[in-house]
Amino acid sequence: MKARVHVMLKNGVLDPQGEAVRHALGALGFDGVNGVRQGKVIELDLAEGTTEADVTAMCEKLLANTVIESYSVELA
């Protein structure tokens, strides 16, 4: 089984990389991009029987830093 973890900076935490991407899009002539937030996607290849709770524990312990990041888990 596979899981996909999305990690994003929390709302309220400035994302300077997202801001730089937004500026670059504006410079390319794409108008109306009001905001860009950049995060990461982590794909996990897991043994059968791994539960969503296990993946949540992985997120809490390592994959995300919950001081600055939020995460969501998608099981496939």
Partner 1 sequence: MHAAVVVFPGSNCDRDLAVAFKSAGAKVSMVWHKDSELPQGVDIVGIPGGFSYGDYLRCGAIAANSPICRSVAAHANRGGYVLGICNGLQVLTETGLLPGALLRNAGLKYICKTVGLKVETTASDYTSGYDAGQVINIPIAHHDGNYFADDETIAKLRGEDRVAFSYAENPNGARDDIAGILSENRRVLGMMPHPERAAEAAHGNIDGAALFRALTGALQTA
Q: Which residues bind partner 1 (CB under 8 A)?
A: 9, 13-14, 16-17, 20, 61-63, 65, 67-68
In the bound state with partner 1, the residue whose beta carbon lies nearer, of 7 and 46, is 7
Q: Report the residue number, 48 or 57, with the smaller CB distance to partner 1.
A: 57
Question: What is the DSSP code string of 35-67?
Answer: ----EEEEEEE--TT--HHHHHHHIIIII--TT
- Nearest approach, Cβ of residue 1 and partner 1 (Å): 22
CA-nearest of 53, 61, 65, 63 to 75 is: 53
**Nearest CB to partner 1, comparing residues 1 and 13:** 13
